[in-house]
Chains A and B, each alone.
Chain A
């Protein structure tokens, strides 16, 4: 069988899915949680509680403060210890609600039973409102507020809902496990999203390295109207939004435009599950599946983690950090961020925590570019990374813009493949920042 995929570029980093066999386990709630008020793309939420307040699990802590923003709920029961700046995964100190936890008591109206509710009784508007109320954001990592995605702009038409179960990042397995263990709920969530968008067709894309998930979801999807499951070729970045749309529909998101131009809306499987819980169980987004993995950890695991749990807590429950730990990564090894501190909390966008041994943490010595053109051939956006990096180094912004530096999706394939170990993406990021600034000022004039 020929598996569909995107057409240009791509790399095959070692998959290292160490935790794919580890069932999701609930992680005990830590004594203190740190809940940042910015866990989404857009404006920070406005804090509604005060120091010393008693809060229940699922209670609203901070309110969405704009069109692109999201509600934040309490992930635990307890007393607000402080509302102050605490280090988050960016390495900077950001405002957070710090709660000392006690026994877990859920707020009124939340259905915490394990029963699966299949009938979708809410109307389209009610669904979008509920998604907004429950603070649902994209769980694939971009954390874009989901209710905004559901509101298709005037003049645009949504034709397909695409559910991203690709999980092309090496090491990460949280989506894989979720599909295996909560596949039906995920598909109900998909149906809810279809209703909200008013589309008849949804496609679930899963990379072929998860045959069990493909089989399971295909079997389940047979009972759902309009949902099809598609096995995709194992190739990074297959889970990139643009690459996934290309693989499933053959359409290309035009440069500088949003996916809706192709009639597609893409949501992660984790998001679909969160939507199910929000709409059917009235449950806010206060916990998610997080993979904790790496060659430097004893028991690579998949935990169901309350938002705000310090990463250190996950490490301890996965067997502790070994002596050899050299790098702590929030996310996968291709696009994840190197973390400054294990004190930083899990947030809505945390799909995994990767511990890398010291010997794999350092970059190799940078050598001369030998013009092997591997970076050009692996770029999934058809760019010339070597050239863009050179432009950025020489501050030749006009050339960088002309050669489409802003199209870069920062997948890291170029730096991954470079036999000279050149930090191409570092330069391109700098270039994007400068060119982006120039474009914005131009807009104002």
Chain B
């Protein structure tokens, strides 16, 4: 039996956690939001999510097989996560070819060009989303109105602005907050919480996103550091300006449950690869995301700032890692 013994350094036991399990947990966490999107957009939602996921996985497969010529990594589920997130960040009526372009940029440029899983400095889905937003602004900002399944049919062609879009338009036109909120297209709070609002696929329901986030917390796929600091900082920042001038600035609850903030806080800022490594660094990162999101929302040209905020903070992650070391023992 001598020569059959395995020799290796300690430790000799290992966790049964794997990248694959983590990635699929994220996919499962997104199922409630997926179901909500299907409820409101029907087959369109299925179409967008399907194309996005298949395109992302295919792009990774082709690059890994024919360009990098390395072991296939598509089984780890990370391309699926990117695919779903990309789909969550686009309108339900986006043409198929634009989705494919988004997938090529997300996986090809933002991920594989840097060396594949674990090597990307930026969140791949967000790079794809921002690329599409800048390249195809018209298609990316015409959202179909939600049309719940089993509800009386509304005409197919109706599109509308998102609550954040209405807010920005109203502010540009010099309307007061009261007038903006009175707009017939503006959903009320309950509607926004459960999903009766216009927007990208994954932004529909704050409630569904929270449900998935709770699952990720329980599964320990994410920790509280980034989500909590992001949430609190954006809430406080929006709150301060609302207190100063409630006729000009929307209240912080409005900001919290509209647009991509919930999606950004729990599903994109928490991306392990592109966020900092230490608890302190993650808190700084979250605060940065919150401030930048609100600065863009309150004073920027774009109605929504989540994608830009997270990407900008992604760029700071290496510096944050250098500046914020863990609490050392015995120092």
Contacts and interface: CB of A to CB of B under 8 A. Distances in A.
Interface of A: 8, 11, 13-14, 91, 170, 242, 246, 252-255, 257, 321, 325-329, 333-342, 354, 356, 358, 360-364, 367-373, 376-377, 379-384, 386-387, 403-404, 407, 410, 412-413, 415-421, 423, 425-426, 429
A220 to B, nearest CB: 33
Given A333-B11, A368-B119, A416-B11, A383 B19 contact: no
B89 to A, nearest CB: 21
Contacts of B321: 387
B9 interface: yes
B21 interface: yes
Nearest to B119: A368
A91 B274 CA distance: 43
A341 B328 CA distance: 39
Contacts of A364: 14, 18
17 contacts: A8-B327, A327-B7, A336-B12, A338-B7, A340-B2, A340-B5, A361-B12, A367-B19, A370-B19, A373-B276, A382-B331, A384-B325, A386-B277, A407-B329, A417-B15, A425-B11, A429-B9
B327 A382 contact: yes
Interface of B: 1-2, 4-15, 17-19, 21-22, 76, 78, 115-119, 223, 272-279, 282, 321, 325-331
B60 to A, nearest CB: 13
Given A373-B272, A419-B21, 20 more contacts: A11-B15, A91-B7, A252-B330, A329-B12, A334-B13, A338-B10, A341-B5, A370-B19, A370-B22, A371-B277, A376-B278, A376-B326, A381-B330, A382-B326, A403-B325, A404-B331, A407-B330, A412-B11, A416-B13, A421-B18
A333 B13 contact: yes
A59 B21 CA distance: 58
Given A252-B329, A368-B118, A335 B1 contact: no
Contacts of B279: 376-377
A325 B13 contact: no
Which of A334, A336, A371 has its CB near the most chain B CB atoms (within 10 A)? A371
A364 B12 CA distance: 11
Contacts of B326: 8, 376, 379, 382-384
A421 B20 CA distance: 12
B281 to A, nearest CB: 9
Contacts of A429: 9
Nearest to A338: B7
Contact of B273 (A326, A327, A339, A370): A370
Nearest to B71: A365
Nearest to B278: A376
Contacts of A410: 10
A338 B17 contact: no
A159 to B, nearest CB: 18
Nearest to B17: A419
B6 A361 contact: yes
For chain B, what secondary structure do more than half of its interface residues adopt (helix, strand, loop), or is it mixed? loop
A384 B327 CA distance: 10
Contact of A369 (B4, B6, B118): B118
Contact of A242 (B19, B119, B329): B329
A425 B119 contact: no
Contacts of B11: 13, 333-335, 412-413, 415-416, 425
A342 B3 CA distance: 11
Given A326-B5, A362-B6, A425-B9, A384 B278 contact: yes
Contacts of B22: 370, 372, 419
A376 to B, nearest CB: 5
Nearest to A420: B19
Given A325-B1, A382-B329, A384-B277, A14 B6 contact: no
A30 B11 CA distance: 31
Nearest to A430: B9
A373 B21 contact: no
B10 A327 contact: no
A96 B305 CA distance: 72
A113 to B, nearest CB: 40
A363 B277 contact: no
Contacts of A341: 2, 5
- Among B1, B13, B76, B275: residue with most chain A CB under 10 A: B13
A419 B18 contact: yes
Given A373-B277, A419-B15, A328 B5 contact: yes
Contacts of A370: 19, 22, 78, 117-118, 272-273
Contacts of B282: 373
A338 B330 contact: no
Contacts of A386: 277
A337 B274 CA distance: 36
Nearest to A367: B19
Given A336-B10, A380-B329, A419-B17, A327 B5 contact: yes
